[in-house]
Amino acid sequence: MNRQVLSAHFFIFLATCFTSMNYSIAKIVMPSEIHPYSIVLTRIIISVAFFFILDALLYPTKKYHLPFQDIIRLISCGVVGVALNQLTLYKGLSITTPINAALIVATIPIFVLILSALFLRNLPSWKQSLGVLISASGAYYLIMYTSGGLEIKNLTGDLLILMNCISYAIYLVLVKPLLEKYHPLFLTKWMFAVAALVVFPFTIQDTLRTDWFQVSTEGWLAYTYIILFATLFNYYFTTSTLKWLNPVTTAAYGYLQPFLATLFAVCLGLDVLSTEKAIAGGVIFFGIVLTGKWFQRNSDQEKKE
C-alpha cells in the first residue's frame, strides 16, 4: 500500500469519526434551538465561501475547461451528494434517534454495491445478493418496529435517513470519474455552489425565522462543530480520498459509524441501545458480512494499482 493510499485511509477514518459524532451533537441544538433547514442553508453557504477562498489562495492560476458531460455530472453531484443529502439528513435526524440514524447509515455500502454493479459492471455473487436482502430486512425492521413502533414521526425520520444513504451512495459513484480529471477542492467548491442554489428556496424561510440571538452557548458550540468538522473537513476529506480509493472501499468505512455513533450517543445520554435496535443492527451487519469478499476484491484491485 503506497503512502497516498495509506493517507487516504487515515483521512476517511477521520471523516467517519466526524460524521459519527455529528448524529448526537446535532441533536443538542436541533430542533430545539435551530431548525434543521436553517442548519442546512447556513452550513452550505459558509462552505461555499470557505472552499472558494481556499481554492483561490492555494490554486490561483489553476483553470479547467469542462466538457458538457462533466458539467452535467458535476451538477448532479451537487444536487444529489450535497443538497438532497443534507436536506434529508438533518430533517430526518431531527425526528429520529442518533442510534437509529447510525444503524440505517450502515446500509450505504450495500447501495454502493448495487449501484456499482449497475453502472461499473461489478456484478455481486449470490452470497452478496443474499447479503443485500438480509441487510435490507434489518433496516426495514429497524425503521418499522423500533423507537415507538409505527408512529408516523419516527417512520418519517428513518425513511429520510434512508433517502440520505441512497443519495450519498449515488454521489460516491458519480464523483469518482471526475476525480480522475479535476482537483478535489475544485469539485467540492462547485458542488456546494450548486447545492446552495438548490436548497435556498426550501430553507430560507426557516433560516429567517430562527432566533439566532437566543441560541445558547452549548448550542453555538454544537453548531460550530457541525460547520467545521461535520461539513468542511468531512466533505473535503471524503472527496479527496476518492482520488485514491474506490467508492466501495470509502463506503465500507460506514461500518464503523453505528458503533462510534452508538457509543457517543449512549455516553451523552441522548439515546438508549434497546434490544430491538441491537437485533436490527445484528441483522444489518450479518448481511454486510456476506458482501465482504466483494469489498475485499475491490480493495485488492486498489493495491495492485
Q: How confident is the model at residue 294, as a pLDDT?
A: 47
Q: How confident is the model at residue 289, as a pLDDT?
A: 63
> CA-CA distance, 177 to 87, in Å (whole number)?
25
Number of helical (H) and strand (E) elements in the chain, helices listed first: 15, 0
Contact between 302 and 246 (Cβ < 8 Å): yes
Q: How confident is the model at residue 20, as a pLDDT?
A: 84
Mean pLDDT by 10 residues, the chain (305 residues): 80 87 88 92 94 89 89 96 93 83 76 75 67 70 56 74 90 86 90 96 94 93 93 84 72 69 76 71 69 49 46
Contact between 130 and 273 (Cβ < 8 Å): no
pTM reported for the whole predicted model: 0.76
Nearest to 27 by CA among 102, 109, 106: 102
> CA-CA distance, 143 to 147, in Å (whole number)?
8
Residues 6+ apart with CB under 8 A from 31: 94
Nearest to 42 by CA among 239, 269, 202, 203: 203
Q: How confident is the model at residue 48, as a pLDDT?
A: 95
Locate cell 493517507: which residue? 7
Domain spans, the chain: 3-304
At 164, list the grid cell. 440520505
8-state DSSP, 84: I
Phi, psi of 162, rounded to the nearest 5 degrees:
-65, -40
Burial of 92 (0-12, 13-18, 19+ CB in 10 A): buried
Around 64, how many Cα atoms within 13 Å sit in the side-chain half-sphere?
18
> CA-CA distance, 201 to 205, in Å (whole number)?
8
Nearest to 237 by CA among 51, 46, 30, 36: 51
